[in-house]
Every structure is written in structure tokens, then in C-alpha cells.
Amino acid sequence: MHFALIFAVAALLGFRLRWALIAGLAGATPDLDFLFSFHPSITHSLLPPLLLAGLSVIVLRKTEIGSRLLLVALSFGSHALLDFSHGNYVPILWPLSDKAYGLSFGLNLHMSAPSITWTFQIVEKAYDYGVPMASDGMVLGSNGFTIAVLIVAAVLIARLNIERRCA
């Protein structure tokens, strides 16, 4: 899912499909921690992608490599933010903080007494990165897979139509 969302955003922003593909892969990379039975691990910290983004903006801003590095850094960092926004406990501030954070957000529609309420809370707990987690969990279910395929297909069709019109 991370791959499909980031690929779609990069492709719709006008990056070449090769770079949209690289961005999508960068966005999925933090989950390679599954290979080591830790998830979400320190690969979900926002510090490395923020440092890379800062480097690309400050030092390399007028170079082609700078914009590509920025794309990869933002794609990598977006992974942790997406996990965080799903309410998972993510060590987004590691090593500055030894806690894992999650976003608890809900929008509720009440039909009996017509109203809308919402909750927004950042939750935290001690980050237990020293304890291995089960490595046999499902990475992508059938719903996620179907949505990811539909997103990638829709973006590819849209891009091909745009390129055909411009040719």
C-alpha cells in the first residue's frame, strides 16, 4: 500500500515513471525490518529522511540529484507518517525520544441526534525496540492488494493518456 500511494503521488506530480517507481520503493523500504523480525523498527524514524531532505534542499537544491534525493527522502519519511497516522506506535523521533507515537483520529456521525464529533490524540508508549516481534504477520491483505493494484493501474492509465495527448 505504501508503494502504491507514493508511486501515485510522485507520478501525478509529474515525475518520470522510473522515479515514481523509485519513490514507491523508497516508501516501502522501512518495512524491510520485517526481515529482522522487528517492526516498526528504527527504520521508521523521521530523523534520517529529514536530514536527507535538509541536505537536498540546502546543499543540492539547484541540482537534478537534489530534487531526486528530496523525492526519495520524503517518500521514505512518508512511510513512518502513514504508519503513525494508522494509530500504530512508531518510533518517529528515535533516537531523540525513546517513545513510540501513534495518532488516534476518529470522525463520528451521529444520526440519532444529528451531529459530528471527532477525536484527535497523539498516543505514546515506551519504544520496546529490543524485543523481537513475530515475523510471520501478513504484510498485505487482499483488500490492500486490490486497492494498491487499482491505484497503480489508474495512475498508469492517466499518465499514458496525458503522454498520448502531449505527443
The SS3 call for residue 162 is helix
For Zn ion, the closer CB: 16 or 125: 125
Q: What is the smallest separation between the CB atom of 1 and Zn ion, expressed in angstroms? A: 10
Helices 2-12 and 17-28 cross at an angle (nearest 10°) of 150
The C-alpha cell that represents 61 in the structure block:
537544491
Q: Which is nearer to Zn ion, 39 or 71 (CB)?
A: 39
CB 33, min distance to Zn ion, A: 8
Could you count the other beta carbons within 10 Å of the beta carbon of residue 69? 18
Give residue for cell 523500504. Answer: 29
Compute the least distance from the CB of residue 132 to Zn ion, in Å. 16
Between helix 64-85 and helix 17-28 the angle, nearest 10°, is 40
Site for Zn ion in 27-66 (CB under 5 A): 31
Task: Compare residues 83 and 129 and give the one whose CB is closer to Zn ion.
Answer: 83
User: In the set 69, 83, 101, 155, which binds Zn ion (CB under 5 A)?
Assistant: 83
Size of the site for Zn ion (CB under 5 A): 2
Question: What is the rounded (10 degree) CA torsion for 60, 61, 62, 66?
Answer: 60
Cβ atoms of 152 and 1 within 8 Å: the answer is: no
Closest CB to Zn ion among residues 70, 83:
83
Site stretch for Zn ion (CB under 5 A), options 3-11, 67-75, 77-85, 117-125: 77-85
